[in-house]
Amino acid sequence: MDTILVIGAGGQIGTVLVQALQQKFGLSQVIASDLKASQSFTGIFEILDATKADDLMSLVRKYQVTQIYHLAAILSASGEANPVRTWELNMQTVLNVLEVARLENVNKVFIPSSIAVFGPSANPVHTSQQTYLDPTTVYGISKVAAENWMQYYHTKYNLDVRSIRYPGVISYQSMPGGGTTDYAVDIYHKAVQGQNYECFLSEDTRLPMIYMDDAIRATLELMDADAERITVRNSYNLAGLSFTPTEVAEAIQQFFPTFQTTYKPDFRQQIANSWPQSIDDSAARRDWGWKPAYDLPRMTEDMIHHLDHQYHADLTQV
C-alpha cells in the first residue's frame, strides 16, 4: 500500500491535490505537510520545513513514505522581490527531496516545473517540448535547474521522478501564491463580488493556463502511467487553454454583463511577455494519453458557479 507525503500542501495546488490523493489512496495514507498548520486539512498533517533535510528524512522514515509530491516553491512574481532567497529555497528543497528519496528508496517522486522555464528565445506559439530554455526570472532559472536535477537523478540513480510544466493554474478552491498568472483567479473573485477589476497585465497578453481539475487529473494520470511509457524525465509540457485578459473578461460578461476591466500593467508584464502564449503538449498526449477537459466557457461557468456559492454561503454566515 502506498504512503504519500505532500510537501507544501497548504498552497494553491496542494490543498486540492491532498484531497484528490486522500480520495484515491485513503485518508490514513496521505501525510500533508507545510511550514504552518492549516485548519483546512482533515487527515494527517505534519509541520515540515523542506529546506531541513534531516527533518524530511525523519518524516519519510516515520511514515515509511513511498511517494513524495513536492510542491513548496517561491513563484515568479514573489521571487523577483528576493532572488537569492528564492534560489536557495527552490533549489535546496528540490535537492533534499531527490536525495532523501534516493537514500530511502522512495518509489515515485513528483516535482512540478512551470511554463516559466521558457524565455525570449523559445518560439512563443505552440512552444515545443525541446527548445531554448532562457528564463528571465529567478523562479524560471530554479525550475530549469530542478528539471536538470530530476533528469540526473533518474539517469544516475534510476529514481522514478516525474514532472509537468504546469501552465498558470486557475482554481476556485484556493488562492494563488505570488505568480504572474494570478490575475486569472483574482478576476473571477472580483466579478462574483459585484466589483470591477484592475488587471496588472495588458489586455492582449495571451498566456497558457489550466483549470485546477485538469491540473490535478494530469498529475494523477502521469503518476499512474507505467514507467516504461515515460520518455520525458526532465518535465512534460502540458496545455490546458490559452487566453488574454480581454477574452476572460468577455467570458465573465456572459454571466455579469456590466462587469468591467481596466488595465494597469506592472512589473509582471515583462515576465508575461517572456513566456509562451500556447504550448505543444504532444509528448504528454502520446506517452500517457493527456487530454484537457476545460475550455474557457466551461471553466468560466464552473468557476462562477462555485465562487457564487462560496460568497453566498459566507454572507449567510455573517
User: Any idea which residues carry the catalytic annotation?
Assistant: 139
The grid coordinates listed for 29 are 495514507
How far is Cα of residue 123 from the mean position of the Cα atoms in its chain?
A: 22
Q: Name which of ligand NAD, ligand AKB, none residue 73 binds, using a CB cut-off of 5 to 8 Å depending on partner kind.
A: ligand NAD
CB 140, min distance to ligand AKB, A: 8
Among 13, 32, 218, 284, binds ligand NAD (CB under 6 A): 13
Ramachandran region of residue 305, left (φ > 0), alpha (ψ -120 to 50) or beta? Answer: alpha
Q: Which is nearer to ligand NAD, 259 or 279 (CB)?
A: 279
Which residues in 187-216 contact ligand NAD (CB under 6 A)? none
The grid coordinates listed for 292 are 484537457
DSSP 8-state class, residue 274: T
Residue 276 as a binder of ligand AKB (CB under 6 A): the answer is no
Q: Name which of ligand NAD, ligand AKB, none residue 177 binds, using a CB cut-off of 5 to 8 Å depending on partner kind.
A: ligand NAD
d(CA 231, CA 201): 36
Strand partners, 114: 166
DSSP 8-state class, residue 228: G
Per-residue binding letters, 149-188, with ligand NAD (x by CB under 6 A): -----------------x-xx------xx-x-x-------
68: number of Cβ within 10 Å: 27
Among 3, 12, 19, 66, binds ligand NAD (CB under 6 A): 12
Residues for the chain: how many in total?
318
Per-residue binding letters, 125-164, with ligand AKB (x by CB under 6 A): --------------x-------------------------
User: In three state form, how does the secondary structure of 173-203 look?
Assistant: CCCCCCCCCCHHHHHHHHHHCCCCEEECCCC
Judged by CB under 6 A, the number of residues near ligand NAD is 28
Q: Which is nearer to ligand NAD, 8 or 276 (CB)?
A: 8
| Residues with Cβ within 8 Å of residue 172, at least 6 apart in sequence | 188, 212, 302, 303, 306, 307, 310
Q: Name which of ligand AKB, ligand NAD, none residue 180 binds, using a CB cut-off of 5 to 8 Å depending on partner kind.
A: ligand AKB
d(CA 230, CA 284): 9
Residues that bind ligand NAD (CB under 6 A): 7-8, 10-14, 34-35, 48-51, 71-73, 75, 89, 93, 112, 114, 166, 168-169, 176-177, 179, 181
Residues that bind ligand AKB (CB under 6 A): 75-76, 114-116, 139, 168, 179-181
